[in-house]
Structure 1
């Protein structure tokens, strides 16, 4: 243990830093997606990229993400040790992990065609060839994922939160810069075979360059903090190294199982033209507010659940679970109303320019509607999973996630024929509904009864409010279209802004009549955020 007290930040302070940095990263991520859409639309380059990025992206999320196993393992071990022990420990873990992931990189390069054929058996040329080439270019992301995850954990352990949270914007900037150079070079010939080939390479190289940039910035901060430099160290016998690996290995396996559903969805999507690109564009729109709001809800909730885990506190714990679920509904359901009723205007404003035309908007909009419908169930499931973690039970959510792999595959098979690409999203929503119901059933037994009827009535009231809000916003949007049209970006932005304002206004008025205490909690949190 360190004898030197570190200046501590409050939980709210840390959450604010992470939320602001995440917002900045999301904004740059949105600009990146807009640039990709403008450059390639929903054509073969983006379809190929969606599959080529599956494995590297999975590794970046799994190993290099905040709250990933590498991050969590480093934080948990370094927090217990003196700062003087950090550098040898971090350098040894970095050497070990880099060696393992270097082998993964070589395998990805050599067997890229096989991996693409397994992930996307229905992918046709030229998308297949482009995907193979992109995967070979991005294969070093395997090593970078581990290095970035180690950097996240090391910097957080030294009480640095800003750079790790904002660093994903470097990847976005690299891709945007590469596409800007491509636009100057191509002179607007976006449909030519040479442009498609070169653009595919630029997209993959930009992604790789962005990850390198992100890691280098972390490495500089890590070195300045005295938490390790870029050097080989083979001191495997350090006690901290063994402890990190004991935490890291099972956590990596457990987290990895949760991403198999993504592979399943993309497997079926490979047989539908442009499905992967449509899912990528629409999913990013939904994940932008979802990521920010989930931080606002989940970060403060987990320690609260943990403090109430003892049986004598279960009455209060039930109240907090209700708060988590209703806060989720209060934030997600109005967004659901907006995404369903205004999917076409949203897609047009965000993406429709250059290579991404009106036809592409009609492909992406129905998928966005499906994703919007599932927002509450996705975040509500996460709230319940945190309750199990607080109770010291990670096994139950893990077992449910294993069962969900098979359920998701079955629902994909059943729904893809009926609904095409949106059917794949509905399958994921079905899995989340089943997971949420299963977790509630287990909690109801474990906590000796939950007031599920009372909670259900409140949720039905909120759902009904969102339906009315959605109908109101759709009516305003439709009326605007009939009277003023939406032939340019300014009219589209004004149409969307007015319709969204109407949706939020109707929802707020109806929810106020329900007199839920969670409304006051949400308003209080928003005032705290806006007041800072």
Structure 2
């Protein structure tokens, strides 16, 4: 579609990596501000429950690599610029009509949805969460508009704005909290200001979503890729194709979000659990989101171009590359999160209202997240293969099965393990999804070299275990020597232990002679060794 010359995979990955890194770092500062102001208390817990509903739509419809983004990319990449503008306007009209209705429902029935999510929440937490949800309800509509914008800009090679625009949401929250802290000072933690603090979080989140949409819209207009014009020609070529991919993919991703609802239902009786999921999740999503965007953003258009049977040989090579790069990056990072969870949480969050007790809770959840980092991203890679093949139904069916699996695992694991058990249930669901997707693709593509793929992945898993052990041993030794108190000491221990772990992994992985290992390390050398 784009008239600009296509960029290389390396060039795209570089743009995405830098922009996403900036976005994730600002998001981390945002989360630090929330932690310092509210810790794992009532306001943070209420926000975790209130945000899960607009987040459902934001992830489902508005996220990079979400169903709308994937459907738009798959269809627009095959069409001219003029056709694309009309298709974007028609899709926007259709999606907006549905989401305006949903926004009204969220405002009217906010208290019901919060009660459904957290039946064991305190009355204060529920009241704050209800108000927050009513404020953030328009994000349902904005999610659809942003998702369409992401897909449109992706096909126009506008990768920088795709990855950097989420910064706007974080900045508005940080500014809001800064003003609140300036006005209230240390009184910000007092119960009588809890509702005010919750409202500031909600308004800041909504303002950021509006700014993100406006930034995309201006770029779309400048490129001639659609305006806010209402277009009701739902028979326009390509609209049906978008719907055929988007509808089942949306339901599929929605099923995954239902798993999150199930998790929160079981977590509502555990004090601070929802906030802990949010804090630990961001720590994981920071590197995972960067690598996810680097892998998936340029990979999806390439997969779509290899969907024909005569191109399946190259398609299988791209699938292998996606899975192996995922393993090379996610497995060692996951091992480091497991080994260094406590010092990571203490360095990032432990200040202000966030105390050592909160660090222990968040660290326990972070360990569980670290165990599942590889299968989380591997599942996403395989889902995009189905989207590229024009099949959104298979991920939907697998997700339906996983709802029951997730509920069962939550019920089993929450009693012995508490909050980390709920995260481990999610890891189990992602692992099961990955296996099912590989089995189905093996049949669909007339066989995959699964044994050839599994051997290096198992080798990288073993390497990561050794690296994690080395990192933990280094941390233990430095704590015996220097103690574990003081930010400078903690930073030093974390840095040394992390570098030891990564060095051990790199030393072992290099001996495996995998092209994906060489690819990742060469990229790192290009960026950090001049």
Query: Which is further off, 129-138 or 154-163?
Result: 154-163
Aligned to 2:236: 239
Aligned to 1:172: 170
Query: Which is further off, 478-487 or 31-40?
Result: 478-487
Residue 20 (structure 1) aligned to one of 9, 18, 28: 18
Aligned to 1:188: 186
Query: Which is further off, 374-383 or 81-90?
Result: 81-90
Query: Which is further off, 78-87 or 518-527?
Result: 78-87
Aligned to 1:202: 200
- Map 1:274-353 to 2 at 5 A: 274-299=272-297, 301-302=299-300, 321-353=319-351
Output the TM-score relative to the length of structure 1: 0.90
Q: How many angstroms does 1:304 deviate by? A: 6.1
Structure 1 residues 473 and 527: alpha-carbon distance in aligned structure 2, compared to 1, 3 A threshold: closer
Is 1:458 equivalent to 2:461 in the alignment? Answer: no
How many residues are treated as equivalent by the alignment?
A: 529
Secondary structure (helix, strand or coil) at the match of 1:353 reads coil
The answer as to whether partners of 2:51 and 2:133 remain within 8 angstroms in 1 is yes
The answer as to whether partners of 2:90 and 2:239 remain within 8 angstroms in 1 is no
CA distance in 2, matches of 1:310, 1:330: 29
CA distance in 2, matches of 1:74, 1:518: 29
CA distance in 2, matches of 1:450, 1:240: 34
- Map 1:521-532 to 2 at 5 A: 521-527=519-525
Residue 223 (structure 2) aligned to one of 201, 205, 225: 225
The answer as to whether partners of 1:92 and 1:241 remain within 8 angstroms in 2 is no
**Could you report, residue by residue, the CA deviation over 1:209-264 in whole angstroms, capped at 9, with x for unpaired residues?**
11112122223323333344445x35446725844555544443333223221111
Structure 1 residues 379 and 13: alpha-carbon distance in aligned structure 2, compared to 1, 3 A threshold: same
- Map 1:90-169 to 2 at 5 A: 90-91=88-89, 93-169=91-167
Query: Which is further off, 371-380 or 391-400?
Result: 391-400
Structure 1 residues 275 and 316: alpha-carbon distance in aligned structure 2, compared to 1, 3 A threshold: same
Q: How many angstroms does 1:464 deviate by? A: 2.5
The answer as to whether partners of 1:469 and 1:506 remain within 8 angstroms in 2 is yes
The answer as to whether partners of 1:77 and 1:240 remain within 8 angstroms in 2 is no
The answer as to whether partners of 2:253 and 2:399 remain within 8 angstroms in 1 is no
Query: Which is further off, 192-201 or 412-421?
Result: 192-201
Query: Which is further off, 28-37 or 472-481?
Result: 472-481
RMSD between aligned residues: 2.9
Aligned to 1:417: 415
Gaps spanning 5+ residues in structure 2: where? none
Q: How many angstroms does 1:85 deviate by? A: 5.8
- Map 1:464-479 to 2 at 5 A: 464-479=462-477
Structure 1 residues 459 and 9: alpha-carbon distance in aligned structure 2, compared to 1, 3 A threshold: closer
**Could you report, residue by residue, the CA deviation over 1:145-165 in whole angstroms, capped at 9, with x for unpaired residues?**
222223323434444332232
Q: How many angstroms does 1:393 deviate by? A: 4.7
Gaps spanning 5+ residues in structure 1: where? none
Output the TM-score relative to the length of structure 2: 0.90
CA distance in 2, matches of 1:520, 1:102: 49
Structure 1 residues 288 and 442: alpha-carbon distance in aligned structure 2, compared to 1, 3 A threshold: same
Q: How many angstroms does 1:12 deviate by? A: 3.5
Structure 1 residues 234 and 466: alpha-carbon distance in aligned structure 2, compared to 1, 3 A threshold: closer
Q: How many angstroms does 1:453 deviate by? A: 4.8
The answer as to whether partners of 2:172 and 2:207 remain within 8 angstroms in 1 is yes
Structure 1 residues 310 and 41: alpha-carbon distance in aligned structure 2, compared to 1, 3 A threshold: same
Q: How many angstroms does 1:458 deviate by? A: 3.3
